[in-house]
Amino acid sequence: MVDALQKNPAWQGRRGPLLLVIMDGIGYGVHVEGDAVAAAVTGSLDKLRADCPHTRLKAHGKAVGLPADDDMGNSEVGHNAIGCGRVFAQGSKLVGASIAAGAMFQGKTWRDLMASLVPSGKCLHFLGLFSDGNVHSHIDHLKAMIDRAAAEGIKRLRVHVLLDGRDVGEQSALEFIDPFEDWLAGFKARGLDYRIASGGGRMYITMDRYNADWSMVERGWRTHVQGIGRQFGSPREAVVAYRQAQPNLIDQDMHEFVIAENGTPVGPVVDGDAVIYFNFRGDRALEITAAFEQDQFDRFDRGVRPKVMYAGMMEYDGDLHVPKAYLVSPPAIDRTMGEYLAGAGVPMLAISETQKFGHVTYFFNGNRSGKFDERLEDYVEIPSDLLPFEQRPWMKCAEITDYVLAAIREGKHRFIRLNFPNGDMVGHTGNYQAVVCSVEAMDLQLSRLRSAIEAAGGIMLVTADHGNADDMYEHEKKTGAVTRKADGQPRAKTSHSLNPVPCIVFDPEGKGEYLPALREGLGISSLAASCIELLGFQAPAGYDQSVLRFKGDNA
């Protein structure tokens, strides 16, 4: 149970409900070309921005608990942040805590891996960034898993190392390889066959992102999985040989190496093996994961894909649920907005279509199934269409709006939250025309909601959980120019953006209780305190600051 919310003695809220509209995947783009939000006809959204107090919120990186500010946000961490009003650790801190507590090794994925490999004697493979840079991975996480695998009876184990030289020293590879090889020798003394099997620089093999260069992933697949590449007797031999040929070679650019004995690779991936990708950060994990998991795959010729159990360190894309199996679950979150409002007796409605229903319920409530109070909470799922999103890009935004309009007229609920999935789910298709259509369809619903809230004397808070539709083309990092395919067409970008998202307060019966200039520089975790204040309560202690600035508040 949480402490009771305290009422705001200066303001009890409005006569109508508070409506929180989460426009999934709608941000403020930085590139003119490829910004489907800016290209769409959005008269309703434009009018809200012109007429209402508004600001921009961070929805990626550290603002939502990810390790670095070049980490994409996603719908899971986004709804966690919006719903709980604080930033919870994800990535490295979460993995470290899971290992320390032993939770990783008691989880279903690890247990399934052990149950498959120990009786069969098949090989456990680890693949990931081999350093302590702690941006994508940490070597200590790898070593902890190897220690545990040995304790549980894994006889054969192979490590496929991606050299860093980016988050650590440019030529520091041997500073990690040499002590690690010495450490692995201790397992050999115990009769265990544990070895480094392959490797190469992170910017030459495997760790591409944003679909920029799939040839990197293909080289990684051939190296790690098929055991095809330049052969060496040891990883040290490989590093020394490459540096002798090119003394200024940075680790991240080193070509592939395959460890072999008598011309035979020591660690290709074969049927019955298992593979753990031990990077916790998702942007450079999605493509190699797709190569392992996707049945329909046309990025390169994989040959005969080995039948293996594949797991990621974490879930890299919560919207698409990639990978299918992962080792570390989302953080344990408490004191959510929903729990506080239920404790205060506030009737609530949460609604979306199937694609995002779990986000406005489970993730919004801090990864919690069920309701805080059955009497006060209504959850409504509008069934999604069972066809590709680009074929019906308007999705179910009209049906969601129909239900919300009826709920507003009924007057039962004091707080309503909804998610329009269009900008995100259609954005993932890479179909620019469809994304523009999806944004425009959603914009039509904003006009309907605005009219209903105005008639009811309520407040509408319009925001998003992350960007996506605002950045639909791949761009050169240095110049910002659109990258193009051989036929001259732009390369589609299907991943989330790093752009800020809107925060607009439509309050037609406002009487100046708060200043029209909202706070700037905040993250989407500020929305929980903002909603609680708009409902006439004081935000709980420890919550991130609200976007609202009341009279006399100069902060």
The domain ranges of the chain are 21-86+333-534, 92-312
Give the integer Cα–Cα distance in Å for 101 and 144: 12
Question: Are 64 and 458 in contact, with CB atoms under 8 Å apart?
Answer: no
Q: Phi and psi at residue 94, in whole multiples of 5°?
A: -70, -40
Supply the pLDDT for residue 331.
Answer: 78
Pairing of strands 264-265, 415-420: unpaired
- 214, exposed or middle or buried, with CB in 10 Å at 0-12, 13-18, 19+? middle
Annotation says 369 is catalytic: no
Amino acid at 470: D
Whether residue 418 contacts residue 20, with contact meaning beta carbons closer than 8 Å, is answered with: yes
H or E stretch at 504: strand 501-506
The pLDDT of residue 281: 86
Per-residue confidence in pLDDT tens, the chain, 555 aa:
899 999 998 888 899 999 999 999 999 999 999 999 999 999 999 999 999 999 999 999 999 998 888 888 889 899 999 999 999 988 888 999 999 999 999 999 999 999 999 999 999 999 999 999 988 899 999 999 999 999 999 999 999 999 999 888 889 999 999 999 999 999 999 999 999 999 999 999 999 986 878 999 999 999 999 999 999 999 999 999 999 999 989 999 999 999 999 999 999 999 999 999 999 988 889 999 999 999 999 999 999 999 999 999 999 887 788 999 999 987 778 999 999 999 999 999 999 999 999 999 988 999 888 899 999 999 999 999 988 899 999 999 999 999 999 999 999 999 999 999 999 999 988 899 999 999 999 999 999 999 999 999 999 999 999 999 999 998 988 899 999 988 899 988 888 899 999 999 999 999 888 999 999 999 999 999 999 999 999 999 999 999 999 876 655
- The CA distance from 100 to 104, in Å, is 9
Three-class DSSP category at 497? strand
Query: Global pTM?
Result: 0.79
What pairing do the DSSP bridges indicate for beta strands 124-129 and 274-277? Answer: parallel
Distance CA 428, CA 386 (A): 16
* Two tokens, residue 375: 């009497």
Is residue 238 a contact partner of residue 244, using CB atoms and an 8 Å limit?
no
**What top-level class would CATH report for the domain 92-312?**
alpha beta
Kindly tell me the burial class for residue 363, based on how many C-beta atoms sit within 10 Å of its own C-beta (0-12, 13-18, 19 or more): buried
- pLDDT at site 490: 92
The confidence score (pLDDT) of residue 95 equals 95
The CATH number of the structural domain formed by 21-86+333-534 is 3.40.720.10
Number of neighbouring beta carbons within 10 Å of residue 18: 26
Hey, which residues does 277 pair with through a beta bridge? 127, 312
Of 420, 414, 383, 386, which is closest to residue 401 (Cα–Cα)? 420
H or E stretch covering 459: strand 459-463
Q: Where are the alpha helices (DSSP H) in 40-172?
A: 43-51, 75-84, 92-101, 103-106, 108-120, 139-151
C-alpha 495/C-alpha 316 separation (Å) is: 11
The residue count of the chain comes to 555
Q: Which of 75, 497, 525, 546 is catalytic?
A: 75
Q: Which candidate, 132, 104, 37, places its Cα nearest to that of 473?
A: 37
Predicted local distance difference test score (pLDDT) of residue 39: 98
- Residue 296: burial class (beta carbons within 10 Å; 0-12, 13-18, 19+): exposed
Q: What's residue 553's pLDDT? A: 67
- Nearest Cα residue to 63 out of 376, 385, 526: 526
- Tally helices (H) and strands (E) across the chain: 17, 15
Q: What angle do CA 217, 202, 330 make, to 5 degrees?
A: 85
